[in-house]
Amino acid sequence: MKTFRPARVAEAVREVASETILFELRDPRVKLVTVTRAEVSGDLQHAKVYVSVMGTDKEQQLTLRALKHAAGYVQSKLAKRLQTRYTPVITFVLDQGVKNSIEITRLINEALGKPAAAAAGAGEEPGEWEEAPPHGADAADGTAGGGRAGS
């Protein structure tokens, strides 16, 4: 059996789910959610939507519960997009990939002998950023625009 049709449907599920979560859900429990991928069964009747949620474990579980509550709404949006006989039943699953990659990075840095806080970029003193030159100005090392967080 060809696998390109489930792949196309999975991509459509991912797009619809991410757009619906980002723009249409008004539940205050749903925040800081990223749809990472979607998997569709071979018969196109079941879909797993993997989401990454930033926050503590309690916040993640609360957000996942809210997403499971809104699964029917997301499924109705998907039904309008797909022109198939059956609309896949959506199940939201917490994706641990981002959490695992951060943990692996921490372990690698620990093995290389780098301190964990400095490797994450949060090891500086709080007042150090206040004395940094404005964006675009010459820094002490002669480079332009360096030293600001988020740029």
Taking only the tens place, the pLDDT of each residue in 83-136 is: 889 999 999 999 988 889 889 999 999 999 887 655 455 444 444 444 444 455
Under DSSP, the state recorded for 133 is P
pTM value surpassing 0.75: no
Could you tell me the fold of the domain covering 4-98?
GMP Synthetase; Chain A, domain 3 (3.30.300)
Question: What is the DSSP track for 63-115?
Answer: HHHHHHHTHHHHHHHHHHH--SSSPPEEEEEE--HHHHHHHHHHHHHHHHT--
Every domain of the chain and the residues it spans: 4-98
Please say whether the beta carbons of 90 and 17 come within 8 A: yes
